[in-house]
Amino acid sequence: MAEAVERVRRLAREHSLRFERSIPLIASENLLSPYAKELLVSDLHSRYAEGLPGERYYEGNEQVDEIELLCLDLARRLFRCAFADVRPISGTVANLAVLKALAEPGDLVGTSRLADGAHISSAGFGAFGLRGVKPVYYAWDAERMTIDVARTREILRAVRPKTCLFGLSLFLFPLPIDELRPTLEEIGARGWYDGAHVLGLIAGGEFQDPLREGCTVLSASTHKTLPGPQHGILLADGDEELQQRLRSGAFPGVTSNHHLHAMAALAVSLAEHLEFGREYARRTIANARALAAALHARGFDVLGERLGFTRSHTIAVRVDAEGGGEAAARRLADAGIIANKNLLPGDTSPKHPGGVRLGTAEVTRLGMGEREMEAIAELAHDLLHRGRPASEIRTRAAELKRGFTTVQYCFGAGEAAYRYYDLVGRPPG
C-alpha cells in the first residue's frame, strides 16, 4: 500500500508540473490565492458544523460560527443582496438547493438547451432529473449567441413555467433577463440565475446584475471568474419565506456538513474580490476579447462576431475545419494549451462536438495581458493551421508561461508566490 501512496504523490507532482508549463484556458477553472489555499489544509478540514451559526448540532464551533458569519456578510456586501447561504458545496449542489426550494416534481422550469450553452444540471440526467422537473426550452439566436426574446416570450406565455432559469456553461454575453421580466411577471414565474461562470464578473460590475434585472435567486459555484475554492453559494433578495426555503434547501435539503475549510477559503476570496475584483474582471474580459479577435484574425471561426465575440471570460470557436472539438482540444492539450471540447448550437453529440471553449480567467489571474493573448493565438494557429509539431508548440508555450506563475489580484501575492507544486513538492527534474 505504501507503493500506492507514493504513486499518487508522484502523479500529483507530474500533474502540477504539467500545468506549471502549460497555458491554462479552461473557462471553468481558476487559482486560489495563497491565504485562501492555506485554509484548505487547516484543521477546519476535519470538522463538522451542521446547521446555522449559533444553532449547531455539534460542539466546538465557536470560531467556525464567526468565520461563517463573516463569510455571509462579505457575500451580501459583494453582491449587494439581503440573503446569502454558503453551505452548498458546489454549483450543482447550489442548483439542487434552489430546485428543492422553488420547484416540486412535475413542475415546468424554463432553461436553455445544452447545445445552446446550458449546464448539465438543467438536463434530465442532471439536477433537473433528480428533482423530477420538466424543462421548457427557450428559443435561441445562434448568431448572437443569446436567447431570442420575441420567440421565447411566445413560448413562456404558451407553457407558463413556474420558474425560469437563466445561466449558461458557455456564457459569452449577458442574457436578456430585463427584457423578459414583464413576461415573467405576467405568467407569475420566478426568475433564477445560475451565475457560476460569470460570478466574479457580476461582482466586479462588468457583466450584468441579475438580482436587479428580474431574478430573485442567484446560485453559483465559486471557483471560476470568482477565484475562490471549489464550493457553492446562494444569493437572493426577497421576503423571509423565500430565504427560509433556500436555507432549508441547502440544509438539510442537499448538504450535511458544508466543508468548513472551503467555506473559510471562500471568505478570504470574497474579501479579496471586494478589494481587487473590479480590475480583475475588467482585465479578464479585455483578455478574452483580445484572444477572440486574434484567433479570428488568424482564420478561426470564433462565434459571436456580430457582438464583438464575447463580453465575458469565455470564447467559443467552431473547429469543424480543424478536425472537430474532440480532436482539436486533444491536439491543443498535447501542445501545452489546455482547453475543452464543447457543444455549439446545432451539435448533437457531446462526445464529438464541433467546438472548443476557451477562457481567460486563470491566465489573467497570473498576470497575462493582451500581448500574451496574441502569442497564444499564434501558437494555436501554428499548431492547427500550419501543422507545426506539438513538441515545438509545447516548448514555446512553456517559455511563454515561465514568466507567469504567481497569482495576482489577492492579498499576500508579493510574499507568498503561488507555485503549481507548492503542496506536494517539486517533481524531480
Q: What is the pLDDT of residues 242-274, one digit of tens each?
A: 999 999 999 999 999 999 999 999 999 999 999
CATH architecture of 36-270: 3-Layer(aba) Sandwich (3.40)
Q: How many Å apart are CA 316 and CA 18, to the nearest integer?
A: 24
What number is the average pLDDT over the span 309-315?
98
pLDDT at 75 (0 to 100) = 98
Q: What is the distance between the terminal CA atoms of the chain, rounded to a whole angstrom?
A: 25
pLDDT at 127 (0 to 100) = 86
Banded model confidence at residue 419, pLDDT cuts 50, 70, 90: low
Q: How many Å apart are CA 182 and CA 85, to the nearest integer?
A: 28
State the sign of the Cα–Cα–Cα–Cα dihedral 13, 14, 17, 23.
negative
Q: How many Å apart are CA 210 and CA 166, to the nearest integer?
A: 9
**Mean pLDDT of all residues belonging to the chain:** 94
Q: How many Å apart are CA 37 and CA 365, to the nearest integer?
A: 15
Per-residue burial over 194-203, b = 16 or more CB atoms within 10 Å of its CB, e = otherwise? bbbbbbbbbb
Q: What is the pLDDT of residues 164-190, one digit of tens each?
A: 999 999 999 999 999 999 999 999 999
33 torsion bin: left (phi>0), alpha (psi -120 to 50), beta (else):
beta
The answer to pTM > 0.85 is yes
94 torsion bin: left (phi>0), alpha (psi -120 to 50), beta (else):
alpha
Q: How many Å apart are CA 345 and CA 267, to the nearest integer?
A: 37
8 A C-beta contact, residue 100 and residue 251: no
Residue scoring higher pLDDT (396 or 412): 396
**What share of the chain in percent tops pLDDT 70?**
96
Q: Find the largest Cα–Cα distance for the chain.
A: 65
Instruction: For 26-48, give the DSSP string.
Output: -TT-----HHHHHHHTSGGGG--
What number is the average pLDDT over the span 211-234?
98
